[in-house]
Structure 1
Amino acid sequence: MSWNNQPSPTPAPPAPNRPRWARKRIAVPAAAVLLFVGVGIGSAQGDDTKSTGADKPAPRATVTVTAKPARIKDAAEPAPTVTVTKTVTAKPKPKPKATESDEAPAGTAVFKVWGSAPAGADITYGSDSDNLDGSGLPMTKTLKVQDGALYYHISAQLQGGGDIRCSVTIDGQTKTGHARGSYNICSAQLNGDFSGGWD
């Protein structure tokens, strides 16, 4: 048997020639996979570096801070003030009625003492022929004017302090006096004239 008679093996057909775009379809995804793998390895190494750096003790520093106390408001701010103005027509005041203390009726003498006398005051009043005692402040007394009287007077002496005034009025004529402090005396007097009037 001869080996030469054996049929020769059939040669393999040549590999088909792939176009360039088909090669790129394989190369590009492979490059992307390699890139991602490289980035993952690098980041893992970076984490190891960070962890080794974190093991070193950090330097410590002590800082003292002095803070000023907060300012406390002394008082709350006042609320705004609203002023409302109303115009009102004033009513005329009625004229006060004349009394014995304001005017002396004809033929009457009016004696008054008013003011402050904490310890009291010794009061006397009357005419040249009559001398009467009074008390309390304010005081108002009246006497009928006598024909032939020469004068009418009032006197009030403080008893240790105060401030008082006194007056005597006859027929629209008035005389007044004033005393202040200690034992001073307030006095007033109206004198009759030759025509029958008082001065």
Structure 2
Amino acid sequence: MSQQYPQQPGQPQQQPAWGSPQQPPKKRSVGKTVGLGCLGIIGLFVVIAIIAAVASSGGSKTSSSGTSNTATAHSSSGKAKADGKAKADSSNADKAASTVVFKVWGTAPAGALGPADITYGSDSDNRQGHWKNGFTSTLPFKKDAMYYAVNAQLQGSGDIHCSVTVDGKTKSGHASGGYNICSAQLSSGFSGWE
């Protein structure tokens, strides 16, 4: 059996000599292509990490000069009252921002395992709640938490609602009948708690 090679115009066809080895085809450099692709993916992750770090560090700037303009327009006794009220409002706002509120309410008759089974907390702190004609609890707010959630499972029957409130935003859920679960969760995102 003879091998045939493509013939170029104007040249005679060449036959290999018996016993002479054929040259193997040239290999492609696939490793270089794969290596460059991996560097591009790693670079993309680095850029995303930098953007996330910049976005999370620049979002919490507040100013307390908004109340001073209204306080100077009042008399000295009115100024003291306005300053006191501004401090109380600021204190309430700080307190609300520094705590997370978890609630479960409705009807949850005791089943084989008791009334509703309640779990609440964050991605790094999970706690067990106890039903006493409803449930309310607070935890200190932690800026580095990824989410806060509450889950309440019925034990055979009932109709319950649940909610979690973080930084003035509230998410709520509902469950009815059987062993259904009421869930509410707020997650930390680029634009605050969602």
Q: Report the TM-score, using the length of structure 1 for normalisation.
A: 0.46
- In our comparison, the structure showing a higher alpha carbon Rg is 1
Whichever structure has more strand as a proportion of its residues is 2
Whichever structure has more helix as a proportion of its residues is 2
Q: Report the TM-score, using the length of structure 2 for normalisation.
A: 0.47
